[in-house]
Amino acid sequence: MSNFVFVIDTNGQQLNPVPPGQARRLLKQRKAAIYRRYPLTIVLKYAVSHPQTQPHQLKIDPGSLLTGLAIVRDDKVIWGAELTHRGQQINNDLESRRAIRRHRRNRKTRYRQARFKNRTRKPGWLPPSIESRIANILTWVNRIRRYVPIASISQELVKFDTQAMSNPEISGREYQQGELAGYEIREYLLEKWGRKCAYCHAENVPLEIEHIHPKSKGGSSRVSNLTIACNACNLAKGNQDIKDFLPQKPDVLNRILKQAKQPLKDAAAVNSTRWQLFNRLKATSLPVETSTGGRTKYNRTRLKLPKTHWLDAACVGVVSELKILTSQPLLIQAKGWGSRQMCQPNKYGFPIKHKTRCKEFFGFETGDMVQATLPTGKFAGTHVGRLIVRASGVFEMICATGKVSPVRYKYCRTIHRNDGYMYKFSAIVPGIGD
């Protein structure tokens, strides 16, 4: 089953989302029209004087690459989405610009004094690659609030409570010896060691927590002394010291000892991002519930749900029961609004061509989602995707299956104007939403 459809009345007032079947009936009876394609929103052709809306909860599972979004109403997941960020692309673009500028400034020209010490940063400044992740999430929080009566927000604030794991007494024994302790540490180790056996690199097998320095010989249970191993390697090592277990594999031994002492930098970066996101979500004046990644995994495991980002979002916070009413979440990919760069240089930094100031050709611009019906050629048929426009009227299209080219403008029909994102629906998750 697809996501529920958002509904507003003719005055733009938020109403309860409805199942796809009910939305189709309203459209067929001409009582409503499509207001927005992504997320699918319909607008009623009449005003609702006293709407009886139910409170909805927006749940967020922020990540470095992917962020899960879910809307929950009465313990029922009615809408889900996965948002792909473009932080790495922004970082690469900034590095490319930096290299070109440095090359240009280091040629045989007059000496210019460094100016980097003159620049100051505002309080709370974040690198552009991280700031874009927060901006993407806030954009979608505001969009959803525009069409759905959201009463509260639930956010996974920290992925791992690293301070409590390093010192089990930091917040009392009840915290670490509760039912969440094992999930918190296990999820941290899975992320740190790449979800592979530390000894044989086995994947997609049950992995067990293993002490590098045996506990029976005085080894501690701190995360710096823990790793993950498959059952065969765990049994083979037993209570041996790792130096006795790997005398013939010095490379593996050095790698494990070095990696065991390293912190999980990605988790630390994401944790700092989530705190900034939390502070900005509080500015929406909605109640914000927070939780940890360990509790999210505990809820997902207890409810026997598959590992996906949107279902992780649905499991954030205090969850008793969940009924999944959708099995095909919306996949959102951040693409940006294009580049402001008008002059394109070669690899040496010299200008070779200039872009036109016109962004729209034949009624289309780059980023528009269109439906193209091609009568002939290699790609004959109907395609839906994101356009890359040209002044000649012969465009290219990026679809879920790849690139389609050439696409002439006369065969295109706009279904969603450019808003900086690309959309598609995931494959149906079996056993979910049936």
> Who wins on pLDDT, 281 or 339?
281
User: Which of 181, 334, 124, 270 is closest to 189 using CA atoms?
Assistant: 181
Strands, E assignment, 31-143: 32-36, 41-44, 56-61, 66-73, 76-84
Q: How far apart are the first and last CA of the chain?
A: 7
Strands 402-408 and 394-399: antiparallel
- Does residue 323 carry a pLDDT above 50? yes
Contact 149, 6 (CB under 8 A): no
Which run of H or of E encompasses 365?
A: strand 364-365
What's the mean pLDDT in 25-36?
A: 95
pLDDT at residue 23 in the model: 95
78 token code pair:
């009615």
Query: What's the fold here for domain 56-84+125-160+266-324?
Result: Nucleotidyltransferase; domain 5 (3.30.420)
Domain 166-263: assigned CATH number? 3.40.1800
Q: Which CATH number fits domain 347-417: 3.30.9, 1.10.8, 2.30.30, 2.60.40?
A: 2.30.30
181 token code pair:
């302790």
Instruction: Kindly report which listed range (110-124, 207-221, 227-241, 284-298) carries the lowest average pLDDT score.
Output: 110-124
What's the mean pLDDT in 304-315?
A: 92
What's the mean pLDDT in 235-264?
A: 82
Phi and psi dihedrals of 344, rounded to 5?
Answer: -100, 120
Report the alpha-carbon angle 58-33-19, nearest 5. Answer: 45
What's the mean pLDDT in 361-371?
A: 92
Domain borders along the chain are 5-44, 56-84+125-160+266-324, 166-263, 347-417
- Length of the chain, in residues: 434
Cis check for the bond before 20: say yes or no (omega within 30 of 0): no
DSSP state of 4: P
Give the HSE-up count for residue 62: Cα atoms under 13 Å, Cβ half-sphere: 36
Tally Cβ neighbours within 10 Å of residue 71: 25
Instruction: Kindly report which listed range (149-153, 184-188, 194-198, 383-387) carries the lowest average pLDDT score.
Output: 184-188
pTM of structure = 0.76
pLDDT at residue 174 in the model: 44
Burial class (CB in 10 A: 0-12, 13-18, 19+), 309: buried
SS3 (DSSP) at 266: helix
Burial class (CB in 10 A: 0-12, 13-18, 19+), 340: exposed
Q: How many Å apart are CA 44 and CA 6, to the nearest integer? A: 11
Distances (CA, A) of 359 to 356, 389, 420: 8, 8, 14
Q: How many Å apart are CA 387 and CA 369, to the nearest integer? A: 6
Per-residue pLDDT tens digits for 373-400? 999 989 999 999 999 999 899 999 998 7
Tally Cβ neighbours within 10 Å of residue 238: 9
Phi and psi dihedrals of 98, rounded to 5?
Answer: -60, -40
User: Which of 39, 42, 76, 79 is closest to 60 using CA atoms?
Assistant: 79
- Does residue 4 carry a pLDDT above 50? yes
Q: How many Å apart are CA 132 and CA 126, to the nearest integer? A: 9
Q: How many Å apart are CA 383 and CA 404, to the nearest integer? A: 8
Q: How many Å apart are CA 196 and CA 192, to the nearest integer? A: 10
Mean per-residue pLDDT of the chain: 85
DSSP state of 2: B
**Bridge partners, residue 413, by sequence:** 371
Contact 159, 293 (CB under 8 A): yes
**Bridge partners, residue 79, by sequence:** 71
- Does residue 1 carry a pLDDT above 80? no
Helices (H), 226-337: 231-237, 242-245, 250-261, 265-282, 293-302, 309-314
Which run of H or of E encompasses 22?
A: helix 20-28
What's the mean pLDDT in 159-173?
A: 49
